[in-house]
Amino acid sequence: MPQQSEADRLPITTGAPTRRRWLLFIHQLPSHPSNLRVTTWRRLQQIGAIPLKQAVYALPDTADAREDFEWLKTEVGAAGGDASVFAADNVDAWSDGALVDEFRRVRQELYEELARDVEQALKRAASTRRPKGTRAPAIRRLLDIFRERLVAAEKIDFFGSAGRDRVLASLRHLEERIEGTSPQPAPAGHGDHSGRMASFQGRVWITRPRPGVDRMASAWLIRRFIDRQARFGFAADRDAVPDHGVPFDMFGVEFSHHAGGCTFETLCAVFDINGPALQRIAAIVHDLDLKDGRFGAPECSTVGAMIEGLQLAYHSDDALLEQGMTLFDSLYRSFEQSSRATGPRVAARPRRARTSAGKPRPRKRGR
């Protein structure tokens, strides 16, 4: 295998993290005009600043953030107020980790609000019957609004907050409902599995920050079955992935959601990886990630709670991903042992329809 140069290697986090720098916006507003306070608050929300105390807001120190604060400073000054912008290596009563967590918490709430709105629209679309081949203009316009809201949320999601996957999955389901189309087919080229796997050895696999269930499980699957020497890195989207990197669980890439399945299922299909234990893991990952209850996997609540705990316990994305991979390796070993002891087990099945009395309908016997 050819040696990679230092320039080709993605930096891996080791040792003590580099301290972040922050921008602080401190302002004082006049009593008139009365709407200036609301206007300023809305602008601070739009650029993603979080409040530290009354009239003090923070952003990560970037060129875009500095420009946003400087423009707002000019607007406040023109309205008769006073504002200052400061750069700081630390903020009183806030550690770097606490500030990052607060940014992620606020953005997660934003994603959750958007996801609820999309899911409500999806329920309305599902309950509305219309002639085949026609469209619902009002819901189509609503879909465009949801997409605009997602773009705005992603722009100010500086630290890769949880919740974005749920929004993307709901938007995809809503679009399929509106268009009356089937899910996007899985990527082609599944024939030569061994040849494909040989071309993905010793690679750097790139995914989005703050890994959740699908990214954790997919990373474990990659290192366990596809690329034993796999290294992992993070990027905000596919455009930020370096040329030598292999993106996964990102919008618009090969190894992502396809045909109504999650990234874990796509990887299993592309590289022909299967088995009873993997089927059980795939059911858990699918139900937790897509939240459609397709398999009714009974382990979902426990695994979901463990992943939430890991996300709270680890600020480093590298450490979080490694711990998540350990979690899924433990699940696989347990399921493998159970499979050997009791024989193959169906991971999960769609739930049987029930009669009005609440009893399962009897299955029809084959002739």
DSSP state of 225: I
pLDDT at 184: 45
What is the chain's pLDDT, residue by residue, as a tens digit (367 residues)?
444 443 343 444 433 445 678 999 999 999 888 788 999 999 999 999 999 988 999 999 988 899 999 999 999 999 999 999 999 888 877 888 889 889 989 999 999 999 999 999 888 877 766 544 445 578 788 888 998 898 889 889 888 787 887 888 888 888 877 776 444 444 444 445 656 788 899 999 999 999 999 999 999 999 999 999 999 999 988 888 998 899 999 888 899 988 788 999 999 999 999 999 999 999 999 999 988 888 999 999 999 999 999 999 999 999 999 999 999 999 999 998 887 665 544 445 544 544 444 455 554 444 3
CA distances to 138, 147, 149, 156, 237 from 152, in Å? 21, 9, 5, 7, 15
For 77, the token pair is 């000054």
CA atoms within 13 Å, Cβ hemisphere of 265: 19
Contact between residue 75 and residue 184 where contact means Cβ atoms under 8 Å apart: no
Q: Where are the beta strands (DSSP E) in 226-307?
A: 231-234, 245-247
- Domains by residue range for the chain, with CATH: 22-88 (3.30.70.240), 96-179 (no CATH), 193-342 (no CATH)
Sequence-ordered list of residues with C-beta below 8 angstroms from that of 145, at least 6 positions apart, any chain: none
**Quick check: pTM over 0.75?**
no
- For residue 184, which of 264, 272, 254 has the smallest C-alpha distance? 254
CA distance 216 to 223: 11
Q: Which of 29-34's residues contact partners 24+ apart within 8 Å by CB, and which partners?
A: 29/55, 29/76, 29/79, 29/81, 30/79, 30/80, 30/81, 32/80, 33/79
pLDDT at 291: 85
pLDDT at 15: 39
Identify the helix (H) or strand (E) that includes residue 59. strand 56-60
CA distance 151 to 167: 11
